[in-house]
């Protein structure tokens, strides 16, 4: 029975699962990137984070815990602790791994992923301040300025109306002159027609 055994079974017995997780963690820490199944990657993520946290502590007890967790690989533990001492994960408080999905495997359709260590520095978000909001407010014009602007617009509108009235009068005068000329021409044509008869 599986009394008090935490985590996924991963389709094998307990000893095989434990050995597989240990080898995957060692491969990830050694190569900084591995390609595996999604469930295995999610299962080893807390193990990797725990080992890096021990490396951040850097004391002898943490080093011995890491050696025991990685199956006695002292050289790998020494390399990890040296990288962390040089400031590899100094600005991170967790989340040392990244999982990127690749899609299903061709043979059995298992979801494949690439798991890698996040070695780039963390970009800190800019804190929002209340000052830009105050500066962003547009000053509302005073009532006197609004009245002055409206008075100017009224004067301009009156000038436009006067110009339109003058143009209308000129058009009406031209139409009257044209009508008189047409009437005279009709009369002359009528007179010539009478003479011709």
Instruction: Give which of 97, 95, 65 is closest to 81, Cα–Cα.
Output: 65
- pLDDT bin (cut points 50, 70, 90) of residue 82 is very high
Write down which residue in 95, 117, 139 finishes a domain: 117
pLDDT over 70 at 146, yes or no: no
Q: Is the domain of 113 the same as that of 19?
A: yes
Domain assignment present for 20: yes
Q: What is the pLDDT of residue 50?
A: 94
Domain assignment present for 76: yes
Give the range of the structural domain holding residue 63, as residue numbers without chain letter. Answer: 14-117
Domain assignment present for 123: no
Beta-bridged to residue 37, according to DSSP, are 112
Q: What is the pLDDT of residue 142?
A: 66
CA distances from 64 to 4, 58, 83, 119, 189 (A): 24, 10, 17, 24, 127
Instruction: Give which of 163, 152, 87 is closest to 120, Cα–Cα.
Output: 87
Q: What is the pLDDT of residue 140?
A: 66
Residue-wise DSSP of 15-64: HHHHHHHHHHHHHHHHHSEEEEEHHHHHHHHHHHHHHHHHHHH-SHHHHH
More confident of the two residues 66 and 185: 66
Task: Report the C-alpha gap between 17 and 195 in whole angstroms.
Answer: 129
Residue-wise DSSP of 84-123: HHTTTTTT-SS--EEEEEEEE-TTT-PEEEEEEE--SPPP
Q: Is the domain of 18 the same as that of 113?
A: yes
Q: Is the domain of 82 the same as that of 150?
A: no
Burial of 134 (0-12, 13-18, 19+ CB in 10 A): exposed
Q: What is the pLDDT of residue 172?
A: 86
Domain assignment present for 72: yes
- Percentage of the chain surpassing pLDDT 70? 88
Q: Is the domain of 179 the same as that of 87?
A: no
Q: Is the domain of 64 the same as that of 145?
A: no
pLDDT over 70 at 130, yes or no: no
Domain assignment present for 3: no
Burial pattern 64-78, b for ≥16 Cβ within 10 A else e, equals ebbbebbeebeebbe
Tell me what the mean pLDDT of segment 138-146 comes to: 64
pLDDT over 70 at 109, yes or no: yes
DSSP-derived pairing of the beta strands 111-117 and 97-104: antiparallel
DSSP-derived 3-state class of residue 68: helix
Q: What is the pTM of this model?
A: 0.60
More confident of the two residues 154 and 149: 154
Q: What is the pLDDT of residue 1?
A: 73
Are the CB atoms for 119 and 48 separated by under 8 Å?
no
More confident of the two residues 106 and 159: 106
Tell me what the mean pLDDT of segment 115-127 comes to: 85
17-26, 48-57, 105-114, 127-136: segment of lowest average pLDDT: 127-136
Q: Is the domain of 18 the same as that of 111?
A: yes
Task: Report the C-alpha gap between 14 and 12 in whole angstroms.
Answer: 7
pLDDT over 90 at 25, yes or no: yes
Q: Is the domain of 188 the same as that of 156?
A: yes
CATH number at residue 97: 3.90.1030.10
């Amino acid at each position: 029975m599986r009394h008090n055994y935490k985590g996924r079974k991963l389709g094998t017995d307990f000893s095989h699962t434990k050995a597989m997780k240990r080898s995957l963690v060692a491969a990830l820490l050694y190569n900084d990137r591995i390609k595996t199944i999604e469930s295995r990657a999610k299962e080893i993520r807390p193990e990797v984070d725990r080992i890096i946290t021990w490396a951040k502590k850097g004391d002898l007890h943490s080093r011995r815990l890491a050696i025991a967790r990685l199956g006695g690989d002292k050289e790998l533990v020494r390399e990890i602790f040296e990288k962390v001492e040089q400031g590899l994960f100094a600005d991170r408080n967790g989340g040392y791994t990244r999982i990127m999905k690749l899609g299903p495997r061709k043979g059995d359709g298992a979801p494949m992923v690439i798991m890698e260590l996040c070695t780039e520095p963390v970009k800190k978000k800019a804190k929002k301040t209340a000052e830009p909001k105050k500066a962003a407010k547009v000053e509302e014009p005073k009532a006197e300025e609004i009245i002055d602007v409206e008075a100017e617009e009224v004067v301009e509108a009156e000038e436009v109306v006067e110009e339109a009235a003058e143009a209308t009068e000129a058009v009406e005068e031209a139409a009257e002159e044209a009508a008189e000329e047409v009437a005279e021409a009709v009369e002359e044509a009528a007179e010539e027609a009478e003479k011709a008869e």
